[in-house]
Structure 1
Amino acid sequence: MKILKKLSMLLVVSMIATLFSACGTTQNSETRSKKDVPKSISISYVKSPLNVPSIVEKREKLFENEFSKDNMKITYPEITEGSKMTEAVAAGSLDFCNAIGATSVILAAANGVDIKIIGVYSRAPKAFTIMAKDPSIKSVKDLKGKKVVGPKGTILHQLLLGALEKENLKASDVQFINMGIPDGVSALLSGSAEAALVAGPSVDNAKKNGAHVVTTGEGILDATIVIGVSGKFLKKYPDIAKRYLKVHDKSLSFMENSKDKAYSLTSEETKLSLEQVKAMYDLYDFNPKVTDKDIKDLNDTKDFLVKNGMLKKNIDIKSLIVNIK
């Protein structure tokens, strides 16, 4: 009888110990879960030239709807320059670059910034142009000896050099002056430059003031804009990055199923007319999947940077791309 009592007591003690152990495991699991969730997520917000997914995500509070259940705060710093975005990533103040030029990512990565590409934001070769006002400038060949203005080290600059090469011309065959798009358009319209590198709504505005398109990026480059993420953030919070892309997919579904609403939101945010938004919308491919063609375009961009002395260190493009879906 004593033996049975001892066995019973041991069994009870064992059950209690197991119960407390399970509770401790649950608490540890909950603690770990909380630690694995950041308090806030910073996502760059760039609405121009026509970043419809970003506009839908912000206006429809798609990220807030996804992450508020974990008490995460969403911030949208309006950083419009790619170099400034990568600086913020390096400083730890920006987690996701929602729409950043591949040029900026490649240059930053080559300079030691821990940044990764988790998707393509858009491709819009027809939205990037070389424009002129003089009616005698009808083709890229006519740019020889002319003054061309535009932003250096960008997709537009890459377009100019690619267009010249296609016509067996060299960079030295034109007088290139580094200038932002608004100032470039002003220089073109005032006659202080014969050609300008123009993208987005500025193309339509320049046309209304007598300028015309000499060429677009079609057949020269894909004008790839990507979705970037801090490599440090991605390593620490891979599940958050996955959920981020799911939200991005929701914005694309919204654009497909509620197109008129998407047009309206974009018009309100960019101050473009609905007609302008609709005309520009069809120039964009927002499919986020990174294809072999995208990788080729990214490698072409890298080669462009090396060829023009802007990239001194070689970098493996595929090492920058992370498939997290």
Structure 2
Amino acid sequence: MSSRTIRALALATAAVLASTALAACGSDEEKASTSAGAGAEAETLRLGYFPNITHAPALVGVNKKYFEEALGTGTKLDPKTFNAGPAAIEALFSGAIDATYIGPNPAINGWSQSKGTALKIIAGSTSGGAGLVVKEGINSAADLKGKKIATPQLGNTQDVALRAWLKENGLNADQQGGGDVSIQPQDNATALQAFAQGAIDGAWVPEPNLSRLQLESKGKLLVDEKTLWPNQEFVTTHLIVSQEFLKKYPGTVKKLLQGHVKSVKYIETNNAEAQKAANDQLAALSGKPLKDEILQAAFKNLKFTHDPIASSLYTSAKNAESVGLLKPVDLKGIYDLTLLNEVLKADGQPEVSDAAA
């Protein structure tokens, strides 16, 4: 059995055992800048991302070949797509991918399950662009009692956000679809169809599905998630990497971050062209581009940033704990922004912080 397979099995076992013993910690000694062989590069970088506008830096980076250009001829880019975070974390654990764009709660779960050994958050990507869309006649949290609401996947970022919001409003929802509100995790395409057909009463989803539910199915935005956060900013998507990959190939990770920074910068300075690039990539993945009105509405509702907005990650962890989807966990060491700040500094941009507040 190869050492890679042994490590993958060990991580998978850690994920199972974590439900009874969750205590994670990180060491500053693991920072990428102190890793041996800082210029080491991998033959292949397997990068995960989702076919959502909240992952626009990934969509643009793949479409415009910014990642491939940054990696150069020595490393092949192997992009892979996922519907929601838990599946991407499983792929990271098994060794099927090396890095992925992902939401905060799956990253927190992965950190917790592996006792701080599986991953590092290495960059921010996206803020905002999620919320609860409902059918007409639902005007408050109280009106949701007895209703069916979809989320992308049990334990994903939007699922936790919905459960925490319901709890704050005196409503309960269990993990089996029971309680005051029946939460029904399902992939985004299914949720869109189910809402249009009246099979569900609403959905807490990310863009572009947030805009699609409103513009295509005449849904009503009951909760814009950014209004629940300080300064209306919270992490929707960030970039994580396998700790094993980071330690072995910091040179490749730095080049990945160079591509990421270039992609975010392109979105900031060429927004219309970036929208087209993101939509072209969505079309390549799904066979169907978004309508212009959906695309424009989704981009307007999002902020793309290198800043991981770390304070919101810690709050998301507390929310997951409060709804029974996470045991108490120490998140110290979950960030390693060393290489990102090197890239930002070289590009003349301000560095970012992993401070909790």
**TM-score, normalized by the shorter chain, greater than 0.5:** yes
Residue from 236, 252, 268 that aligns with 2:264: 252
Task: Give the drift of 1:33.
Answer: 7.4
In 1: Cα distance, 2:205 partner to 2:92 partner: 28
From the superposition, tell whether residues 137 and 40 of structure 1 become closer, same or farther in structure 2 (CA, over 3 Å): same
How many aligned positions are there? 285
Contact 2:162/2:204 (8 A) holds in 1: yes
Structure exhibiting the larger radius of gyration computed from Cα positions? 1
CA 1:246 to 1:163, structure 2 compared with 1: closer, same or farther past 3 Å?
same
Structure 2 residue 177 is the aligned partner of structure 1 residue 176: no
Check conservation: 1:82, 1:101, Cα contact below 8 A.
Answer: yes
1:241 to 231, 253, 276: 253
Structure-2 residue corresponding to 1:18: none
User: Against the structure 1 CA distance between its residues 318 and 259, is the aligned structure 2 distance closer, same or farther, given a 3 Å change threshold?
Assistant: same
The CA deviation at 1:283 is: 1.5
Question: CA 1:38/1:267 → structure 2, altered by over 3 Å: closer, same or farther?
Answer: closer
- What residue in structure 1 maps to residue 213 of structure 2? 206
Q: CA 1:210–1:263 in 2, change beyond 3 Å: closer, same or farther? A: closer
Q: Which among 101, 104, 126 is matched to residue 102 of structure 1?
A: 104
Matched, 1:119 2:123: yes
Deviation digits for residues 180-207 of structure 1 (CA, Å, limit 9, x no counterpart): 3333333333333333323323333333
Residue aligning to 1:306? 321
List aligned pairs for 1:47-86, cutoff 5 A.
Answer: 47-69=51-73, 71-86=74-89
Partner of residue 305, structure 2: 287
- Which segments of 5 or more consecutive residues in structure 2 lack a partner in the other structure? 1-35, 174-178, 283-288, 342-357
CA shift, 1:118, in A, is 0.6
Contact 1:90/1:114, CA 8 A, preserved across alignment: yes
With normalisation by structure 1, the TM-score equals 0.78
Deviation at 1:272, TM superposition (A): 1.1
Q: Deviations over 1:94-132 (max 9, x none)?
A: 1111x20111111112111511101112111xx222222
Match of 2:296 in 1: 278
Within 1, Cα distance between the matches of 2:130 and 2:38? 45
1:187-239 Cα distance to aligned partner (Å, 9 max, x none): 33333333332332333333332321211212325253110001011112223
Q: Under a length normalisation based on structure 2, what TM-score does the superposition of the two structures give? A: 0.72
What one-letter code is carried by the residue in structure 2 that aligns with 1:189? A
**Paired residues for 1:153-192 under 5 Å:** 153-171=155-173, 172-192=179-199
3-state SS in 2 of match to 1:192? coil
SS at match of 2:304: coil
Contact 1:89 1:230 in 2 (8 A): yes
Q: Which residue of 1 aligns with 2:137?
A: 136
More helix by share: 1
Q: Which residue of 1 aligns with 2:40?
A: 36
1:44 aligned counterpart, secondary structure: strand
The amino acid across from 2:157 in the alignment is: I
Is the 1:147–1:193 contact (alpha carbons within 8 Å) kept by the matching residues of 2? yes
User: Equivalent residue for 2:336?
Assistant: 322
CA gap of 1:218–1:259, structure 2 versus 1, over 3 A, is: closer
Contact 1:141 1:164 in 2 (8 A): no
